[in-house]
Amino acid sequence: MVQGRHDSLRKCDFSSGKWVYDQTYPLYDAATCPYLTTRVTCRKNGRPDSDYEKWRWKPHGCNIPRFDALEFLGRMRRKRIMLVGDSIMRNQWESLVCLVESVVPTDRKTVTYAGPTMAFHALDFETSIEFCWAPLLVELKKGPGNKRILHLDLIEENAKYWRNADVLVFDSAHWWTHSDKWTSWDFLMEGKHVAWDMNRMVAYQRGLRTWAKWIDLNLDPRQSRVIFRSMSPRHNRDNGWKCYKQREPLEYASHPHVPEEMMVLKGVLKRMRFPVYLQDITTMSALRKDGHPSVYTQAGGDKAVKQHETNHGSADCSHWCLPGVPDIWNEMLNAML
């Protein structure tokens, strides 16, 4: 029976399915998980509805097993799981830690910090769930005159933290596509060549190729599993949606939009020797415009609501409320593993 379940999961396209309302969700209580940052605890910040916590993802060809913290920790005994990327990957790390922490006694868990990494340790399982801040994967350094230089061909300063991890989950997209006003770098370098500007997708491809080369040269597929999570969609004004006051998922995307970043990423993964699994969460998450913090990113959300309604406030339509959508990404990750 177990073999049958594994076979059906192996053949299943997780990315194609629908959101199903399920009263038995969420899988943890935000009030009792001490690892959540304020910006994602939407109900505590005054969000009046909670249905966004109760949707699970049902792929068309199978069921994603419900997350079982003890089973997960048992399988990950003596292993390091590391999530690498930007603040949305940090969002996912908080979710994964909250999914497991309730089964670990208070005196048998701890969080440690080192450089750009933070790690949750379940001591009795000798398991660590880690987050490494590397939003562009390649190196972003300060140069003369405090200018930010993006080195498209350098990665070791970040990658040295990834060695010896048993499971690596990467994401990198948002920082490559910030608009001119919020651009992440002042200029780019490749070897001795300096570019003041470059097509964003060309730069993204070159950065990803540097990452892919490092993975191919430094990791052993018999010892490490590598998963690349696709781009988390933004529901801000730029693409015509606002997430404020959204209460339920869309049933389907009228024009399923495949971001350019996805095409670039797939092209790079295809040329790698190391078997990297693509976790495609883009289309499923695009249906969840109800899942963002919107104006509820800090305590005293009422003030933010008033500001927003008089058009002076801003809404966060990029990150996700927790409990919420990233929990489902982690259920999918668990099934992939």
Are 317 and 236 in contact by the 8 Å Cβ rule? The answer is yes
Per the residue annotation, which of 86, 280, 290, 316 is the catalytic one?
316
Q: CA triplet 88, 94, 96: central angle to 5 degrees?
A: 105
SS3 163: coil
- DSSP percent split of the chain into helix, strand, coil, nearest 5: 35, 20, 45
C-alpha–C-alpha distance, residues 88 and 71, integer Å: 26
Instruction: Say if residues 140 and 150 touch (Cβ distance below 8 Å).
Output: yes
- Helices 200-218 and 260-270 cross at an angle (nearest 10°) of 30
Q: Does residue 232 have an active-site annotation?
A: no
* Close Cβ partners of 92 (under 8 Å, ≥ 6 residues apart): 83, 169, 171, 229, 326, 329, 330
Whether cis (ω within 30° of 0) applies to the bond prior to 48 is: no
Determine which one of 87, 153, 166, 186 is catalytic.
Answer: 87
Residue 109 C-alpha from the chain's centroid: 23
Under a CB-based contact definition with an 8 Å cutoff, are residues 95 and 326 in contact? yes
Q: Which amino acid is residue 85, in one-letter code?
A: G
Q: Catalytic residue at 319?
A: yes
Alpha-carbon distance of 36 to 320, in angstroms, equals 12
First to last CA, the chain: 18
Q: Which amino acid, 209?
A: R
Question: Going by C-beta distance under 8 Å and a sequence separation of 6 or more, which residues neighbour residue 146?
Answer: none
Contacts (Cβ under 8 Å, ≥6 apart) of 6: none
The residue annotated as part of the active site, out of 174, 235, 292, 319, is 319
Catalytic residues: 87, 316, 319
